[in-house]
Chain A
Amino acid sequence: MSPRPRDDPAAGAPRWPLSEVLEAMVDQGLEEAEVYVKRGRSRRLETTLHTESSGFHHERGWAVRAGGPRASFFLAGTGDPSPEGPWPAPDGRPLRLPDPVSATSWQEPADFDAPLTGEREGFQLLAAIARELDTELPGTRLLHALLEDGSSESEVRSQRGIHAHWKSRVAALRLTATVPASKLRRTASRRGLGSDRHREPVQATLVLAEREARRFHPQAVARRLADRLVVRAGPPPEIERDRGEVLLAPAVVRRLLGALTPLLVGPRAASRVGRFHDRRGHIGGDLLTLVDDGGLDGGLLTAPVDGEGMPSREVVLVEAGVFRQPLVAWNQVRGLEAVASGCARRASWRDLPVPGPTHLYLAAGSTPVAGLLAEVARGYYFLETTGAPRMDFDGDAFQVPVAGFAVGRGRAAEPVSGVVLQGAVSSLLRNLHGAGRDLTYAPEEAGLLGTPSLLVSGLEVRCARPAGD
């Protein structure tokens, strides 16, 4: 498909009766009105130990926001919107919609129009992952595998003159595997890793996303899942509390970044982050650079506009440890020293646009992960979180349950789980000694987040349960 200039965001849009719906709103005396439509197709392939299902789904929905200074409504429905309604009566809350803003250039990725995975191809991928997993970690069973591959196109038009059309293409893979303790003990013994204390079956889940399902490589996926199973089987360390350098894999940094978003997103972020400024006015170390970019080149959810038709753009939130501005949408920017960006996402056609991270990433460094690991004289390499992080910004404290390896002289020694990584939020932001070049993105609750591996000091590792418990 040929690149489409961003200043013609509605080029190629299908014919939906959006103007007619807007006219119907005017006829009802509503000053503000916006129509959003979305069409999508998706393939969903799922296997369990005993069942297999193949789904092919067509989604077609729309949403209208309309109102004025005194009252408004939101109506969403399946099919195509009809000017005849029926429309709900506006309720006593005002509504204001954005004015159009000129866009910068953006090129639609060529693979947006790639065909969806076929049924046989998709099941072959899942079967190959199961085979590779058994090779990596004999005895492992893939309890559940789900592959979703979908594409969609959306259009938004408002009475204020916004008109945009864009496409999206995402494939997601979710795998849950288990391995009996006896098999793990054998593997651990072969690898010289000490996980002989584990008695119960271990279970781990891996979630990945790519533009196309064809980009999932069975062997690489199986290795990541096998690593998770191995580290989850690790015992807690012998000592109750420990310190040392800690290497955090992208998956761990991503969960932490997700939990840190209240410091970065929304009109109150600037006041929340204020308490973390040091004497130089920095909130973090030189390696801390955080950027949000809805139109990120190659980004999984890259789009020229957000769910309201506002242009997406790159916004530097933190630059070399200096807080520049929070991530804010057009209606949150008043009174702030900040530039608004198109960052209002619609989770589906049923949902209202909500400001939040689009592609929020921590800038990568240039060191390979092996190089970062080699720098750890004594410490830990945590590969994944085993629970949700908890942040206390007022108390400058955080904790997150993690699993990984104990590290000695730059080498992973034995698996460690049942531990909590904890410390001051300010230490986490400041004591960054290295950033890997392995920047990877994955969807989190907060949005699509990208993070590299990070080498951090000044944090504490403690057993999740007191000794003897």
Chain B
Amino acid sequence: MPFADLDRAAVARTLTQLVQRPEDFADAYFERLEEVELPPDGEPPGLRVRRQQGFAVRLVREGRTWLASRDDLEPRSFAQALHQVARVLPTAAYPEPRLEVARWPEVPAEPDLLELPSRLQRAIRQRHVAFPLRLTLRRHARDLQVVGTGPAPEPQRERFYSLTAELGWTRWGTLLTELGPPTVERVADSLVELFRARHASPPDTGETTVVLGPAATAVLLHEAVAHALEADVLAQGGDPDAAVGVGMGPEALSVLDDPEAAPVGVRRTSDDEGVPVTRRWLLRQGTVAQPLADSLWAGGSDALSPGAARRAHRHAVPGPRSIHLELPPGETAEDDLISGAGDGMYAAEARAGRLDPLTGAFHLELPFGRRIRGGSLADPIGPFQMSGTVADLLARITAVGAESRPGGAGWCAKGGQKLAVWATTPALCIEGVRIEPVGGTP
């Protein structure tokens, strides 16, 4: 833990100098990030290591935020940053706090990382296919410590991997929390499915039943439920408090954000503001229960609670975002969802989603899929998208699968901040949804 020796009490004392009014909120955010990248075979230079550490000091007052950040952990810089955010300079300042952090360790050998490309190629060969594949694999490590004017929470740590595969005809990516044999097999399955669908025609425009696999469901819920229920997004259309109690989906649909139940490696006990996380019901039986909020948005609200703040790095202001979504499983086995879908479509994965918060218009892009004929998976189909309004799409959910699967919901980019998001979700069946082809020759 790099911040184990940080003098949190001294930092907290210096922050009290910023707070002048009862509603003021001040904190210091310390972070250490490491990314070890294995580039595609043959691309120099070899192993790429990026290490960064620094801090940010912040003051929040009546909806206004002042932030000063630095790429170092030096007491002098900290004192300067404090002065930059202070509205009134203290007459008798506390001494600069000592910012003792552990030295960077030696760069580890990373055998798991180095061996993964050959293990994956072997797994693909075992499926009797071969295709050109350029893999970029990254290990991400993030340590952070938030100190406010009250008791400081425990330091937080995240460790995970991201993988990008460039195939001759498309790109594919995923987030992983470990690189064990089952993970390699799952990645190989996805890549082979993508390969088999490379020449497949996308489905025609129309309305049909779509069964989304757990990974695709994760992206759908992240884009259509979590983003839609972020306090800052809700505020674009009106008062975020007013969303509580509004019906948004069918009674069978409950969605929550539970960072403490995230996959091992990315579990959190406090958010990026140091506020303890909670098991937050976003939707309970189809009704909005508790939107995602940070301290800024919860500050002047009776209905919102903080604990869902995230920031991509020290130079960014935190904002409300999910960490780990959960959709409680239903009672229908995934095979039964497919057999009940008649002549529909099955999509194991989703590439991206787009929500227009003003109109509620929503698109979910699916990079490949399989046709369902007579209740059985049939021939592959090319890229297509589901579209409609969020309310309409969610209302068309008719069944929830019985088997939940944890995993990455992808990189979420909002407001220029790119964050890894996670989910534990089963499959979903959506009836009468509008689909249309994506891509093809101009």
Q: Which residues of A contact B (CB under 8 A)?
A: 44, 46, 48-61, 65-67, 71-79, 86-96, 143-144, 178, 200-201, 203, 350, 352, 390-392, 395, 397-399, 422, 469
A55-B315, A65-B45, A88-B47 given; A397·B441 CB < 8 A: yes
- Complex-state Cα separation, A94 to B72, whole angstroms: 32
Having A86-B107, A91-B45, one finds 15 other A-B pairs with CB under 8 Å, namely A50-B235, A52-B65, A53-B65, A54-B65, A58-B71, A72-B44, A73-B46, A74-B47, A75-B50, A78-B52, A79-B53, A89-B47, A93-B46, A94-B44, A397-B441
> From residue A51, how far is it (CB to closest CB) to chain B in Å?
5
Set of chain A residues within 8 Å of B67, measured between Cβ atoms: 53-56
A55-B67, A58-B69, A91-B46 given; A76·B236 CB < 8 A: no
- Complex-state Cα separation, A469 to B53, whole angstroms: 53
Indicate whether B172 reaches chain A with its CB closer than 8 angstroms. no
- Complex-state Cα separation, A462 to B442, whole angstroms: 12
Q: Which residues of B contact A (CB under 8 A)?
A: 38-39, 42-54, 63-72, 77, 84, 104-107, 109, 114, 205, 232, 235-236, 296, 315, 317, 356, 358-359, 415, 439, 441-442
A61-B71, A93-B42 given; A48·B52 CB < 8 A: no
Q: Assess the A59–B232 pair: CB atoms within 8 A.
A: no
Q: Assess the A52–B64 pair: CB atoms within 8 A.
A: yes
Q: State the 3 A-B residue pairs at the shortest beta-carbon distance, nearest first.
A: A91-B46, A72-B45, A88-B107
> From residue B242, how far is it (CB to closest CB) to chain A in Å?
14
> From residue B413, how far is it (CB to closest CB) to chain A in Å?
14
Q: Assess the A392–B442 pair: CB atoms within 8 A.
A: yes
Q: Assess the B232–A48 pair: CB atoms within 8 A.
A: yes
Q: Assess the A178–B358 pair: CB atoms within 8 A.
A: yes
Best-buried of B48, B84, B358 by chain A (most CB within 10 Å): B48
- Complex-state Cα separation, A411 to B198, whole angstroms: 46
Q: Which residue on B lies nearest to A141, using beta carbons?
A: B236
Best-buried of B49, B104, B106, B232 by chain A (most CB within 10 Å): B49
- Complex-state Cα separation, A51 to B50, whole angstroms: 33
- Complex-state Cα separation, A454 to B108, whole angstroms: 55
Set of chain B residues within 8 Å of A54, measured between Cβ atoms: 64-67
Q: Assess the A79–B72 pair: CB atoms within 8 A.
A: yes
Number of A-B contacts (CB under 8 A): 151
- Complex-state Cα separation, A96 to B47, whole angstroms: 15
Candidates B42, B51, B205, B315; contact of A76 at CB < 8 Å:
B51
Candidates A51, A67, A79, A399; contact of B442 at CB < 8 Å:
A399
Best-buried of B47, B105, B315 by chain A (most CB within 10 Å): B47
A59-B315, A77-B51, A79-B72 given; A95·B45 CB < 8 A: yes
Q: Assess the B66–A49 pair: CB atoms within 8 A.
A: no
Candidates A61, A143, A397, A422; contact of B52 at CB < 8 Å:
A61
Best-buried of B51, B106, B232 by chain A (most CB within 10 Å): B51
Q: Assess the B68–A57 pair: CB atoms within 8 A.
A: yes
Candidates A76, A86, A95; contact of B50 at CB < 8 Å:
A76
Set of chain B residues within 8 Å of A399, measured between Cβ atoms: 442
Q: Assess the B46–A422 pair: CB atoms within 8 A.
A: no
Q: Assess the B69–A88 pair: CB atoms within 8 A.
A: no
Q: Assess the A52–B46 pair: CB atoms within 8 A.
A: no
> From residue B384, how far is it (CB to closest CB) to chain A in Å?
15
- Complex-state Cα separation, A78 to B54, whole angstroms: 8
Best-buried of B45, B54, B72, B356 by chain A (most CB within 10 Å): B45
> From residue A139, how far is it (CB to closest CB) to chain B in Å?
14
- Complex-state Cα separation, A54 to B45, whole angstroms: 38
- Complex-state Cα separation, A53 to B441, whole angstroms: 44
- Complex-state Cα separation, A95 to B84, whole angstroms: 43
Set of chain A residues within 8 Å of B109, measured between Cβ atoms: 89
> From residue B88, how far is it (CB to closest CB) to chain A in Å?
15
- Complex-state Cα separation, A66 to B43, whole angstroms: 14
- Complex-state Cα separation, A353 to B161, whole angstroms: 24
A sample of 5 inter-chain contacts (CB < 8 A) reads A51-B65, A51-B296, A73-B48, A89-B47, A422-B442
Set of chain A residues within 8 Å of B51, measured between Cβ atoms: 75-78
Q: Assess the A58–B70 pair: CB atoms within 8 A.
A: yes
> From residue A303, how far is it (CB to closest CB) to chain B in Å?
22
Set of chain A residues within 8 Å of B69, measured between Cβ atoms: 55-58
> From residue B138, how far is it (CB to closest CB) to chain A in Å?
12
- Complex-state Cα separation, A469 to B436, whole angstroms: 12
> From residue A62, how far is it (CB to closest CB) to chain B in Å?
10
A51-B63, A56-B67, A203-B358 given; A86·B45 CB < 8 A: no
Q: Assess the A60–B72 pair: CB atoms within 8 A.
A: yes
Set of chain A residues within 8 Å of B52, measured between Cβ atoms: 61, 76-78, 350
Best-buried of A65, A66, A89 by chain B (most CB within 10 Å): A89
- Complex-state Cα separation, A46 to B46, whole angstroms: 39
Set of chain A residues within 8 Å of B358, measured between Cβ atoms: 178, 200-201, 203
Set of chain A residues within 8 Å of B70, measured between Cβ atoms: 57-58, 60
Q: Assess the B65–A395 pair: CB atoms within 8 A.
A: no
Set of chain A residues within 8 Å of B359, measured between Cβ atoms: 200-201
Q: Which residue on A lies nearest to B47, using beta carbons?
A: A91
Q: Assess the A397–B44 pair: CB atoms within 8 A.
A: no
Q: Assess the A92–B296 pair: CB atoms within 8 A.
A: no
A86-B105, A89-B107, A93-B43 given; A77·B50 CB < 8 A: yes
- Complex-state Cα separation, A91 to B107, whole angstroms: 12
Q: Which residue on A lies nearest to B64, using beta carbons?
A: A52
Q: Assess the A59–B48 pair: CB atoms within 8 A.
A: no
> From residue B25, how far is it (CB to closest CB) to chain A in Å?
13
> From residue A386, how far is it (CB to closest CB) to chain B in Å?
13
Q: Assess the B71–A55 pair: CB atoms within 8 A.
A: no
- Complex-state Cα separation, A382 to B47, whole angstroms: 46
- Complex-state Cα separation, A89 to B358, whole angstroms: 51
A52-B64, A93-B42 given; A73·B49 CB < 8 A: yes
Set of chain A residues within 8 Å of B442, measured between Cβ atoms: 390-392, 395, 397-399, 422
Set of chain B residues within 8 Å of A59, measured between Cβ atoms: 71, 315
Q: Assess the B45–A73 pair: CB atoms within 8 A.
A: yes
Set of chain A residues within 8 Å of B63, measured between Cβ atoms: 50-52
Q: Which residue on A lies nearest to B77, using beta carbons?
A: A58
A58-B69, A89-B109, A397-B442 given; A49·B236 CB < 8 A: yes
- Complex-state Cα separation, A195 to B63, whole angstroms: 37
Q: Which residue on B lies nearest to A395, using beta carbons?
A: B441
Q: Assess the A87–B107 pair: CB atoms within 8 A.
A: yes
- Complex-state Cα separation, A72 to B39, whole angstroms: 12
Set of chain A residues within 8 Å of B106, measured between Cβ atoms: 86
Set of chain A residues within 8 Å of B54, measured between Cβ atoms: 78
> From residue B111, how far is it (CB to closest CB) to chain A in Å?
12
- Complex-state Cα separation, A395 to B77, whole angstroms: 57
Q: Which residue on A lies nearest to B33, using beta carbons?
A: A78
A55-B67, A88-B107 given; A71·B46 CB < 8 A: yes
Set of chain B residues within 8 Å of A398, measured between Cβ atoms: 442
Set of chain A residues within 8 Å of B71, measured between Cβ atoms: 58-61, 78-79
Set of chain B residues within 8 Å of A91, measured between Cβ atoms: 38, 45-47, 114
Q: Assess the A56–B68 pair: CB atoms within 8 A.
A: yes
Q: Assess the A46–B317 pair: CB atoms within 8 A.
A: yes
Set of chain B residues within 8 Å of A390, measured between Cβ atoms: 439, 442
- Complex-state Cα separation, A56 to B106, whole angstroms: 32
- Complex-state Cα separation, A87 to B107, whole angstroms: 7
Q: Assess the B232–A93 pair: CB atoms within 8 A.
A: no
> From residue B89, how far is it (CB to closest CB) to chain A in Å?
15
Q: Assess the A67–B441 pair: CB atoms within 8 A.
A: no
Set of chain B residues within 8 Å of A76, measured between Cβ atoms: 48-52
Set of chain A residues within 8 Å of B43, measured between Cβ atoms: 93
Q: Assess the A95–B44 pair: CB atoms within 8 A.
A: yes
Set of chain B residues within 8 Å of A86, measured between Cβ atoms: 104-107
Set of chain A residues within 8 Å of B107, measured between Cβ atoms: 75, 86-89
- Complex-state Cα separation, A92 to B42, whole angstroms: 8
- Complex-state Cα separation, A49 to B239, whole angstroms: 11
Set of chain A residues within 8 Å of B235, measured between Cβ atoms: 48-50
- Complex-state Cα separation, A67 to B104, whole angstroms: 22
> From residue B200, how far is it (CB to closest CB) to chain A in Å?
18
- Complex-state Cα separation, A110 to B68, whole angstroms: 28
